Amino acid sequence: MADAEEPEKKRRRIEDLTDKMAVDGGHRISGCSWDGRWNHVRKFLERPGPFTHPDFEPSPESLQFLLETCKILVIGAGGLGCELLKNLALSGFRLIDVVDMDIIDVSNLNRQFLFRSNDVGRPKAEVAAEFINSRIPGCKVLPHFKKIQDFDDSFYRQFHIIVCGLDSIIARRWMNGMLISILSYDEGVLDPSSIIPLIDGGTEGFKGNARVILPGMTACIDCTLELYPPQINFPMCTIASMPRLPEHCIEYVRILQWPKETPFGDTSLDGDNPEHIQWVFERAQERAAEFSIPGVTYRLTQGVVKRIIPAVASTNAVIAAACATEVFKIATSAYIPLNNYLVFNDVDGLYTHAFEAERKENCTACSQVPQDLQFPPSAKLQEILEYLTENSSLQMKSPAITTVLEGKNKTLYLQSVKSIEERTRPNLCKTLKELGLSDGQELAVADVTTPQTVLFKLNFTA
Amino acid sequence: ATMAATKASKEQKYDRQLRLWGDHGQETLENAHVCLINATATGTEILKNLVLPGIGAFTIVDGHTVSGEDAGNNFFLSNNSIGRNRAQAATELLQELNGDVSGNFVEESPDKLLDNDPEFFHRFTIVIGVQLPESTCLRLGSVLWNASVPFLICKTYGLIGYMRLVVQEHTVIESHPDNALEDLRLDQPFEEFKNHTNSYDLDSMDKKDHSHTPWIIIVAKYLEKWLSEHNDQLPKNYKEKEAFRQTIREGIIKTDGGVPEDEENFEEAIKNVNTALNLTKVCGVIQLIFYHSSCVCRVFSLIHLPVRGTIPDMIADSQKFINLQNVYREKAMQDAAAVSKHVECLLRSVGKPPESISEKDIKLFCKNASFLRVVRCRSLAEEYSVDSVNKDEIASYMDNPDSEMVFYLMLRAVDRFYQQHSRYPGVYNYQVEEDINKLKVCVNSLLQEYSLSVNIKDDYIHEFCRYGAAEPHTVSAFLGGSAAQEAIKIISHQFVPFNNTFIYNAMSQTSATFQL
């Protein structure tokens, strides 16, 4: 009996020890490890469970994948970006690139916790990377002090997952468009290996949202463009002659008085220059006094001129946490990812709501369906331009319209280059017929909101 | 000079949050002393989101030493601090975040402090307890309840986040509601407003004035006419409101050919008829507040609240708009002055000096009179006692066996497991399987003790063993943001805290709030 027991006991003892080690002991990877370092993470990678993703297989190799192979791109090193870098680093990700074109400002310090007052003026991406790499041994964050538009598809293709903490809808749409442009189709069927998941987070005061986008498969940014209503600007007649609110007085100075009086020479109004804001503030006070309007303050002036959105650490922490959880789920197949949109609001208690945003059949970005432009031949080109900018599903900023006429490329209108703008401006007053356009004509439209031109088909109405 | 410079630089640093809670809100933060018990990842994440916005001081109470695990999921514990006391190590790196904040630590377990010096906790503005076992929570809960110190309990357990707020009575003057109705009093126009509307004669105005008359005046004018023709009865149902809108529509200037001109102000009037005719009444919640607390607006509780004094922007020329705005502002000031007088009397009658409640506070109160909120949480003792457990709430949510309520019950069961076995289930790989049955026993004894006839699926029991009491960073960070903001609400008395149990499920990115 004793002899039979021994090998069984021995086997169990060894198993026990190995099990204990598997949880307690760190794998000696890259020499940046200590006992128990990844215990909290490994329970989700090395144990089976009832709620895991159908593709999930517990394995000690998953951690290795995170530590040594999985490449993540973080876009933005601000309120969300700092949180994302921390969250990813402490979840086992080490190969992280971060892109941000901004430098640090003192007003960032209340929430962008990787920066200190000494860092003001330095590039966010660089300081963030330095801090994370120094605080989290083994983490290799690579900074890029650049705009996202400075990179082409060859840069973006190298990443397994991209996570955005941007503060601009234009930039989001551009990123969205980039990932859609690198999708490959085999005889009309999407090749899943060309999909780079995009996790997108956004916050404003006490509200935030996080979404999971699988380009070509799930709703993209442009599919739900109506969720981002265009910014309301005050009507010019109110600003010019009928102010009622302190904001109207401030806008008057910014839009009309500054260009007229050029108080600091030929420089444009710089919201970050306290002298400029002080000038606007004083003139706005004068205008307000003229109309007996109360409420013009320095803080309000700055807020209006810079279009400041209030921000706190807590909302960014919540949204970045949700985003990082999704990155982890997708990278490891540990759980089924969010499908696909989460909203959060903690003004009154805490409110979350997760729902599936639907793809738009004729989405300008991801549907591959040429967009329909319905206009009579007597319509002026100006009307098409207005449609492209004002339509809530398009919301283009300064579209450049080109077409092919008599076998040659012709620019119908382009705003961003002064000489071309002047040359093509008369076209705006011409009718589509006068411009030589015919029914079914294809117009190629380029805009900052997308890295690829969008094709439109002209459909003449009566 | 240095004080002014510091103030200016703080204004710049905190600019983005001052736009949310104002200078007075910031002041409450800077006077606050927060206690954090246990500098685990969840704890330090919560504290980070309080240090960054500039609370006055924090004190970390923690008797543990930093383990390898701790240094692996916590941004504020480096591997160099392994073996050192956790409170001390975390304080260093949290303090470094913001020089305006004063950081302290106590290398002691909360149980020891409760044994030797429970009044230690009385000094804090709020106590945040993280990853605490049930017995400590209950002991601490009782001390803090009796001392009226708000207590926020937080726990990250695998992919589940949990928060429990314990505060006897928390009043909120500035709740900042997202969708507040305007306070225009069109159904009960006050004297000065009536005089102001009488100064307008829509029929004799020139076109420019007609098109730039504020919609509030337009509705008031047409309402006056309607009331005289309908026996002083306001339009009540859809049919009547539509008829009323039509009278306004007919007031739009027409060209010689009978085509209505473009009068945006009239369109605004028509659009706003629905909400403009809301009856001015004291809403139910406010009545409750007046009845229960020694609120100074008792005098108004039977009639109406002080006029708010603000109007929304609308199409109008500057002068007409400002004049109308001033009518409301002046009435609001009058009402606030009347309230002030009554406050003075009340204070005198209870032997308190009239300056005990400032003018500023009275004005703030009056401006927010429609939005006052009170949050009263049940004590932990009430939640846990068999006699007062909220069976109905638990059972009704568990009608859906996948409701977030199941995680609340699992956390209670896990606490029970800890009490019995002095460890959490499934910490080591080899324990996972065998602990499932042990945990199930705890689940059943919990349900039996509270006579809860609910069904908890085996999958959840398995999952909670699988978690092995892990505290993954991203879930800690989610709770870190959530809890910090609730603490800020408690400290600043702005915005409304949750009541009283919050569960976050990171697997499905869902959450729920229960009142237990």
Summarised one tens digit per residue, pLDDT across range B224-263 is 999 999 999 999 999 999 999 999 999 999 988 888 899 9
CA B96 to chain centre: 29
Residue B89: its chain A contacts at CB < 8 A? none
Q: How far is B288 from B373, CA to CA, in rounded Å? A: 10
Catalytic residue among A237, A323, A366, A429: A237
Digit-coded pLDDT (tens) for B160-176: 999 999 999 999 999 99
For the record, the structure tokens of B325 come out as 């705005």
Residue B67: its chain A contacts at CB < 8 A? 36
Q: Is A311 on the interface with B (CB under 8 A)?
A: yes
Q: What is the mean pLDDT of residues B72-85?
A: 97
Give CA angle at B376 (B372, B381), nearest 5°: 175
Beta bridge partners of A190: A185
Q: Is A342 on the interface with B (CB under 8 A)?
A: yes
For the record, the structure tokens of A232 come out as 């309301």
Cis peptide before B505 (omega within 30 of 0): no
Q: Is A343 on the interface with B (CB under 8 A)?
A: no
Residue A328: its chain B contacts at CB < 8 A? 474
Give CA angle at B508 (B503, B511), nearest 5°: 25
- Min Cα separation B312/chain A (Å): 10
Residue located via tokens 């009536």: B194
Phi, psi of A69, deg, nearest 5? -125, -40
- Min Cα separation A190/chain B (Å): 27
Which of B13, B459, B496 is opposite residue A107, by nearest beta carbon?
B13
SS3 A190: strand
Residue B484: its chain A contacts at CB < 8 A? 313-314, 317
Phi, psi of A421, deg, nearest 5? -60, -45
- The full 3-state SS of B337-359, as one line of letters, equals HHHHHHHHHHHHHCCCCHHHCCH
pLDDT of residue B77: 98
Phi/psi-derived region of residue B256, left when phi > 0, alpha when psi is between -120 and 50, beta in every other case: alpha
pLDDT of residue A13: 55
**Least confident window among A229-233, B144-148, B307-311:** A229-233
- Min Cα separation B270/chain A (Å): 21
Q: Indicate the average pLDDT of chain B.
A: 93
Q: Is A60 on the interface with B (CB under 8 A)?
A: no
Q: Which of A324, A280, A317 is nearest to A299 (CA)?
A: A280
Q: How far is A350 from B500, CA to CA, in rounded Å? A: 11
**Least confident window among A450-459, B377-386, B490-499:** A450-459
CA A341 to chain centre: 14
Q: Tell me the angle at which helices B405-421 and B134-146 cross, rounded to the nearest 10 degrees.
A: 110
Contacts for A13 with CB less than 8 Å, ≥ 6 apart: none
pLDDT at B298 over 60: no
pLDDT at B294 over 50: no
Cα dist from B202 to B232, B237, B249, B270, whole Å: 21, 27, 13, 16
CB atoms < 10 A from the CB of A121, how many? 9
Q: What is the mean pLDDT of residues B122-135?
A: 98
Among chain B residues, the shortest Cα distance to A105 is held by B13
pLDDT of residue B247: 96
DSSP designation for A255: I
Candidates A133, A314, A330, A341: best to mutate against B (most CBs of B within 10 A) is A314
pLDDT of residue A5: 47
**Least confident window among A53-67, B329-343, B348-362:** B348-362
pLDDT of residue A23: 42
Contact A310 B19 (CB under 8 A): yes
- Min Cα separation B4/chain A (Å): 17
Rg of chain B in Å (alpha carbons): 29
Judge whether A429 counts as a catalytic residue: no
pLDDT of residue A453: 86
pLDDT tens by residue, chain A, 462 residues? 444 445 556 555 555 554 444 444 444 444 479 999 999 999 999 999 999 999 999 999 999 999 999 999 999 999 999 999 999 999 999 999 999 999 999 999 999 999 999 999 999 999 999 999 999 999 999 999 999 999 999 999 999 999 999 999 999 999 999 999 999 988 888 999 999 999 999 999 999 999 999 999 999 999 999 888 777 789 999 999 999 999 999 999 999 999 999 999 989 999 999 999 999 999 999 999 999 999 999 999 999 999 999 999 999 999 999 999 999 999 999 999 999 999 999 999 999 999 999 999 989 899 877 788 999 999 999 999 999 999 888 899 999 999 998 888 899 999 988 899 999 999 999 999 999 999 999 999 999 998 888 889 999 997
